[in-house]
Each structure stands twice: as structure tokens, then as C-alpha cells.
Amino acid sequence: MNLYAIRAIYVFEMARTGRTLMQSIASPILTTALYFIVFGAAIGSRMGEIDGISYASFIIPGLMMLSLLGESISNASFGIYFPKFTGTSYELLSAPVSAFEIVIGFVGAAATKSVLIGLLILVTARFFVDYQIIHPVWMVTFLLLTALTFSMFGFIIGLWADDFQKLQIIPMMIITPLTFLGGAFYSINMLPPFWQKVTLFNPVVYLISGFRWSFYGIADVNVGISIAMILVFMLLCLSGIWLIFRTGYRLKS
């Protein structure tokens, strides 16, 4: 394994975060703080507890997941799309670097930035509300698995996109709505029985439910199913990336 190549890609991508601190770090933190002010303080004070948890505390895992999914996809997709846009991807493909090493460098950097933002949001939440983490090891596990999986998904989007507009289509038109409808701000048990069944077809439900369980020990669906769903989606993303490099789809055109 070419560790020097992996390190070079990883360091370059992480350095890009330092050059865009306002966009990469400050913006998601500020947005999350506004969510806490509006939903946690203004609306949460008028709502009762959900499963024995105050509303402001209840939405913390959902807000973290909302930012984590968006940032993972955005960081990874832009990271691989920009070399295609500038033409430097051809130099990368002609270098003695395997597809596996390229993926580790780009996806690893995107996942690192996403996890960092997630942890910063967790720290920010402490200024607005008290919370507890019953299963910290599982919380970190869900955080890492989700960041890695959706960074790989973003990597696929970056390879698929042929203009900057397409980079935003799936995150804005699909992932964000699914997150809002996946129990980020409510428990699906609050829905009528019919809509509870419909909601189970939303894959983001399993991510948020499992992540919330790691905080408070409560879940809308079985935790084992949540973990299985993340692993299945990870395998699908790995298969997609393998197929792209195997066929050269959008890599050489």
C-alpha cells in the first residue's frame, strides 16, 4: 500500500478545510445553533417530553445526523469533483496510486471533517441544553460508520456529476428531505399507524433511531436493524465505487 500517496491526498483535502473555515466549519455550527434556538428554546419550551426526554435534548442526535449526512456528502463529492473539473484527475489516475488508495485518501479526509463537525455540534449543544450519552462507544461507532458510508456515497456523486449543480441535487432534493422526515425532530411513534409503516421505508430513520439510542437508550426501531442498514448501505457504496473504477465510468471523460 502506498501510504505516501494516501497521506498526500488526505493532507491536501484537510488543508482545503483550513482555507475555507467559514464554509466548512463555521457555517454548519452556526446553522445548528440556530436550530437549537428556534426548535430547542422557542418551540421546545412549549412542548412536553418525548419518552421522558426534554424536546431540546431529544433533537440533538437528529441535528447531528442532519449535519453529518450533508457534510459527508458535500465534502467527498466536491473533493473528487474538483480534480475532474480542473483536469488534475488525469495526473492522479496516471500516478502509481491504486483506486483503493485514492478512495482511502478522499473518503478518509471527508469522513474526518464530518466527524469533527459532528463533535463540534455536540459541544455547541452543551451551551443550550443538558444531555447525556448512555452508550458513548456506540455513539462514536454510529458517528464513524455514518460518516464513512455517506462520504463514500458523496464520492460516487462527485464522480457521477458533470457540473456543479448536480453536486447539490441529491443532498438537497433527496437526503435533506429524508432526514427531516426520518424522525430528526420527532419520534415516528407520534405518527398515525399507517404513516409509521410508510416511514419505515425511509433508510434515514434507522440511522437517526440508532444514533438516538446511543444517547438516551430509546429507539424507534431495533438497534440491530439500524446497524445492519448502515452496513448494507456501506457495502452498496463500496460496490458502486468498485464498479466505477472497474469500468472507468466518468473517470476518463
pLDDT > 80? residue 86: no
What pLDDT score does 12 carry?
84
Using pLDDT thresholds of 50, 70 and 90, give the confidence band for residue 224: very high
Q: What is the mean pLDDT of the chain?
A: 84
What pLDDT score does 87 carry?
67
Structure confidence by residue, pLDDT tens digits, 108-144: 999 999 999 889 888 888 887 888 899 999 999 999 9
Q: What is the DSSP string of the chain?
A: --HHHHHHHHHHHHHHHHHTHIIIIIHHHHHHHHHIIIIIIIIGGGS--BTTB-HHHHTHHHHHHHHHHHHHHHHHHHHHHHHHHHTTHHHHHHSS--HHHHHHHHHHHHHHHHHHHHHHHHHHHHTT-----S-HHHHHHHHHHHHHHHHHHHHHHHHH-SSHHHHHHHIIIIIHHHHHTTTSSS-GGGS-HHHHHHHTT-HHHHHHHHHHHHHHS--SS-HHHHHHHHHHHHHHHHHHHHHHHHHTTTT--
